[in-house]
Amino acid sequence: MLAYSLTGFWRENGEKAPGAWAMTFCTTHGVVHQVAEDLVMEPVIVKGAHTTDHVIYKRPRVKGNLHGDTLAKRSGSGFRYNSFDPGSMTGGSSSQPGHNFGQFHPGSLDGTGRSNFFFLSDGGIKVVQTPSLVRAEVEVLVWTDLSFMSSFQKLLGNSNVELEILKYISVVVHSGNLLFQHGVSDSSLNISVTLSGVIICKTRNCSRFTYDHEINGGVDNHIALNHFAATLRESFRQNSLTFRYDYAVAFTRLDLTDPHGTPIGVSFTDEICSIQNGKSSSIVEDQGGFSCIGTFVHEMSHTLGCDHDGWFRSRQCSPNDGYIMSAVSPLTKNGFYFSRCSVDSIKQNLIKPNASCVKDNGHSNFLYQALGRSQLPGQIYNRTQQCHQIYGTNFCLSIGTRLEDICYKMYCWDPNLPNVCSTKSAAAPGTSCGSHKWCMNGECVYSSEAP
């Protein structure tokens, strides 16, 4: 076992107190090898706590298991993840694999996800059986900033903009729910997503988490996320929201920026249910045409407990396979599925006590449900309309591609390069890809309801 000390600061009068004193406490990470199994210990760190609980996972003994034998430490907690788009529209890519990483957790400890684990606390050792079914019903708050309102006003003119935004958001969340339902190929994990509340900003003051930091249309993603968390924290303190939620996401049509790449989303990770401190949250850049559905699911998955494929708990899963939790937006059919590592990480995080808010039955808002299910997004905006919103150009087919390929990789005319078709996203679900065919989960499928 490997023990090390962490130095933290405890503020007696809360985070805004002028004074603080330092204290040191001991946490333990490590692996105990036995004949038939390994015991893996990791801390459950709670900010400001005087004591530290630990979790011990039991897993089958694997000879030469470097994944479990290699220990690492990441400083800080409540760390953040970025998701990056594929870079330039001509197929380049840009990503930075390290993003303010926080505490280390061992990776995929048990392929079945059904092993026992032990919970250590001041009261002794508690033995808990991992449930055969891990279920989460996530109630989502969506907060759109002023750029969203301005974009829809430009697109629709004098139409009922607020209703159209509400419909758009309802469709995004419903489509995200379907992606969670389809993309988890493990019957022992079930995640459902419902829209519990929407805040549509019409002013800069309502959108301060982005507009206070806007420079030439760009916003530093980490600064904006911290400000959004502070906004949520203050709303909780003042009890100013009339609906409950488990996770909040801000949608913006400003350009999120980062020194290391071109982000389209940023999240706190492992923070689901952290409502009081505002960290059960993400910010997503929506470029229009329902292009944000995959990013919305990706960022929420970080908050539910996922690392990027290839990193830390998910380092046994290659990012080159292009699953949902790849750091760079995948343009493959795998981009509609979660890797084994992601599924295991979510399950392990959701059985922890601090994730209890998603265990109750989600509240159903019938208006949001009706709007979300009214039309498939690809039938609201066709191929050309999607390209026009995302790129400002028309739809095209690149040499060697088929119409059905748009379901995981849609091409549009490059606005900067004449006579060049480029791609950085898939067509929206329900986009027509042939006679009586439309896109569903990255595939062009037949449907009698399709045009």
Active site residues: 299
Residue 431 near residue 412 (C-beta atoms within 8 A): no
Strand 263-268 vs strand 255-257: parallel, antiparallel, or unpaired?
A: unpaired
Residue type, 401: T
Residue type, 337: Y
Helix axes 293-304, 161-183, angle to 10 degrees: 60
Tokens for 17? 């107190």
Bind-site residues for Zn(2+): 298, 302, 308
Nearest to 360 by CA among 178, 132, 138: 138
